[in-house]
Amino acid sequence: MPLPCPKKQDKVVWIPSPSGSFLIVQTLKHLNLHLPSPSWTHLVWFKNSVPKYSFTLWVAIQQKLPILNRRCTSHINATICYLCNSHLESHDHIFFQCDYTKPLWSFIQSRCGIHIHPNSWQYLITWASHHWRNNNGFYSNSVAKLALSSLVYNIWMERNRRIFKKNFLSQNALLQQVLDRIRQKLLSSQLTDSLSSRRIIEEWELPASVIRPPAKPPDSN
Ligand SMILES: [Zn+2]
């Protein structure tokens, strides 16, 4: 082992950083390097995702929304679902078993061509993680992810609005709000011309101008 050079001063080096200096960004990269991404990451973060929808979905997938089933396990007073006023609140209930949200899911599922009947939040996430992963039918998968995140966000907002603002939306009004927000996002996107994008235009009643015109071939002159 070489002896320290007596003429040079010792200095601290942060090995994860190429410069040797401590940088938070380099440290985070170093820490994340060894953490496998969850299989559902692509459901939350994808091209054209809406950050506030993604954040709510991210928390919901981990079953960390501050709702009743969590409080029950802590032996704190249980809360009746604010959407139907007849069952205890839980992730499975609020998103799948609640009489208020069930018709919304059915409509969105049929609009997105989802022909399964998930009976739990975990089942849906596992199914979607597997089936919406690949790039086949890229637009269809992206729209389905957008619809999932938009619905979860808007259901959660409706629940909070009822608690904190004593403001109630009917099922039809909430569904219309979800559909409008999905359409607004799609309208701000530029789709390339394909069978998949044309089907989306038809299903979501979008103008044909959403499709980006094909690139002009390079001038041969
Ligand atoms: Zn309910």
Q: How far is the CA of 177 from the centre of ligand 1 (A)?
A: 19
DSSP letters, 142-181, are: HHHHHHHHHHHHHHHHHHHHHHHT-----HHHHHHHHHHH
Q: How far is the CA of 55 from the centre of ligand 1 (A)?
A: 22
pLDDT at 74: 46
- 215/192 Cα distance (integer angstroms): 10
pLDDT at 38: 86
Give the length of the chain.
221
Tell me the pairing of strands 211-212 and 191-192: parallel
Q: How far is the CA of 102 from the centre of ligand 1 (A)?
A: 9
Biggest CA–CA distance in the chain, Å, is: 78
pLDDT at 56: 95
pLDDT at 182: 94
pLDDT at 155: 96
Q: How far is the CA of 144 from the centre of ligand 1 (A)?
A: 24
pLDDT at 70: 45
Q: How far is the CA of 206 from the centre of ligand 1 (A)?
A: 33
Contacts 24+ apart (CB under 8 A), 183-188: 185/48, 185/50, 185/146, 185/150, 186/143, 186/146, 186/210
Q: How far is the CA of 56 from the centre of ligand 1 (A)?
A: 19
pLDDT along the chain (221 residues), means of 10: 70 83 78 75 89 95 75 56 90 89 91 80 89 69 92 95 91 95 89 82 86 68 52
Q: How far is the CA of 97 from the centre of ligand 1 (A)?
A: 7
Tokens coding 3: 């002896």
DSSP letters, 41-97, are: HHHHS-TT--HHHHHHHHHHHTT-SS-HHHHHHTTPPP-B-TTTSSSB--HHIIIII
Q: How far is the CA of 82 from the centre of ligand 1 (A)?
A: 6
Q: How far is the CA of 196 from the centre of ligand 1 (A)?
A: 35
CB count in 10 Å sphere of residue 36 = 7
pLDDT at 72: 47
pLDDT at 137: 54
Helix (H, G, I), strand (E, B) or coil at 24: helix
Q: How far is the CA of 101 from the centre of ligand 1 (A)?
A: 8
Q: How far is the CA of 88 from the centre of ligand 1 (A)?
A: 7
